[in-house]
């Protein structure tokens, strides 16, 4: 299994605090030794830092923890390899340009029968189930919506349907972003929390670090963090249910659906 971390915010926000917690799970408080990656969007552009080495020992992870890159959309992942060897091309997140946007994807879980997924123009470079699922997902969307419509509601509806299909292949917990929206899908393990005024303090589970968000934010800030497991032990995280699809924009939920067959899974 792997761990996911995402963020959606209405102002450029640094994710150093949450990232510090996550990185400890990469070989220290957790067994995720097989690489890590993080993508920060800034406008329509993005920066990805990744490393096939354990995050708790990575010099690049250290830079990311200390250097506060401010972003409104972040997707991050630490890996414990199951499908696909330990290599840079198999390290999440994966990015593809579709509709003139960069889409960035990370997956937690394991799929079977994924080799049959038709990925069309988007070919996988590595050999993970995750990258193939991502390429299939974007191919399905591009076929259905050759041009991105202004009203995203039907697009989100179709994203949710496609994620439901992938859940039939196994465990599919997902984060996906184009820098504007952060899309999340849960099979069994995904939590989120929205922080807004009045801000309080929070303490990391994985390291002895406490932050006072009051000092780091303004009264209008809305910041949602999404993670496989809660990262703090003194806040109330929302647990997503099986088959739940949730889209965040500027920190707020803008689309929400739960698969009709979710209870039957």
Q: What is the closest distance, in whole angstroms, from the C-beta atom of residue 121 to its own copies in the complex?
A: 6
Please report whether residue 143 would count as binding its own copies according to CB under 8 A: no
DSSP run (H or E) holding 256: strand 252-258
Q: What is the closest distance, in whole angstroms, from the C-beta atom of residue 124 to its own copies in the complex?
A: 7
Please, which residues have CB within 8 angstroms of residue 51's CB and are 6 or more apart in sequence?
A: 35, 36, 37, 58, 60, 61, 88, 91
Please report whether residue 198 would count as binding its own copies according to CB under 8 A: no
Q: Residue 192: which of 22, 40, 5 has the closest Cα? A: 5
Please report whether residue 125 would count as binding its own copies according to CB under 8 A: yes
Q: List the Cα angle 105/110/112 in 5-degree steps.
A: 115
- 2 flagged as catalytic: yes
Contact 78, 36 (CB under 8 A): yes
> What is the distance between the alpha carbons of residues 27 and 65, in angstroms, rounded to a whole number?
16
- Which of 31, 67, 153, 157 contacts its own copies by CB under 8 A? 67
What are the structure tokens assigned to 110, written together? Answer: 């394991």
Please report whether residue 123 would count as binding its own copies according to CB under 8 A: yes
Contact 226, 210 (CB under 8 A): no
Please report whether residue 201 would count as binding its own copies according to CB under 8 A: no
Per CB under 8 A, which region of 50-58, 163-171, 188-196, 240-248 contacts its own copies? 50-58
- Which of 10, 48, 189, 203 contacts its own copies by CB under 8 A? 48
Please report whether residue 150 would count as binding its own copies according to CB under 8 A: no
- Which of 101, 229, 238, 253 contacts its own copies by CB under 8 A? 101
> What is the distance between the alpha carbons of residues 39 and 102, in angstroms, rounded to a whole number?
11
Which of 2, 162, 163, 186 is catalytic? The answer is 2
Q: Residue for token digits 């490393």?
A: 51
Site for its own copies in 69-98 (CB under 8 A): 87-91, 96-97
Which residues in this chain contact its own copies in the complex, by CB under 8 A?
42-52, 59-60, 63, 67, 87-91, 96-97, 99-102, 121-126
Please list the active-site residues. 2
């Amino acid at each position: 299994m792997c761990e996911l971390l995402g963020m959606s915010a209405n102002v450029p926000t640094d994710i150093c605090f949450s990232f510090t917690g996550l990185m400890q799970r990469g070989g220290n408080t957790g067994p995720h030794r097989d690489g890590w990656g993080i993508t920060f969007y800034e406008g329509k552009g993005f920066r990805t830092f990744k490393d096939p080495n354990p995050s708790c020992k990575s010099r690049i992870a250290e830079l990311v923890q200390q250097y506060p890159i401010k972003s409104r959309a972040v997707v991050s992942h630490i890996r414990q390899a199951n499908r696909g060897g330990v290599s840079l091309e198999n390290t999440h997140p994966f990015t593809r340009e579709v509709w003139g946007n960069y889409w960035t994807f990370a997956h937690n879980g394991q799929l079977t029968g994924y080799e049959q997924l038709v990925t069309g123009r988007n070919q996988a470079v590595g050999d993970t189930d995750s990258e193939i699922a991502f390429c299939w997902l974007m191919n399905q969307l591009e076929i259905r919506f050759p041009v991105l419509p202004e009203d995203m509601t039907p697009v989100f509806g179709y994203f949710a349907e496609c994620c439901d299909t992938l859940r039939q292949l196994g465990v599919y917990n997902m984060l996906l972003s184009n820098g504007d929206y952060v899309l999340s899908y849960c099979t069994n393990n995904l939590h989120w929390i929205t922080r807004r005024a009045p801000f309080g303090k929070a303490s990391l589970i994985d390291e002895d670090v406490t932050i006072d968000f009051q000092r780091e934010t303004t009264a209008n800030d809305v910041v949602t963090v999404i993670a496989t497991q809660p990262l703090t032990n003194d806040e109330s995280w929302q647990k997503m249910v099986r088959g739940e699809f949730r889209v965040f924009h500027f920190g707020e939920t803008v689309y929400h659906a739960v698969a009709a067959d979710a209870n039957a899974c």
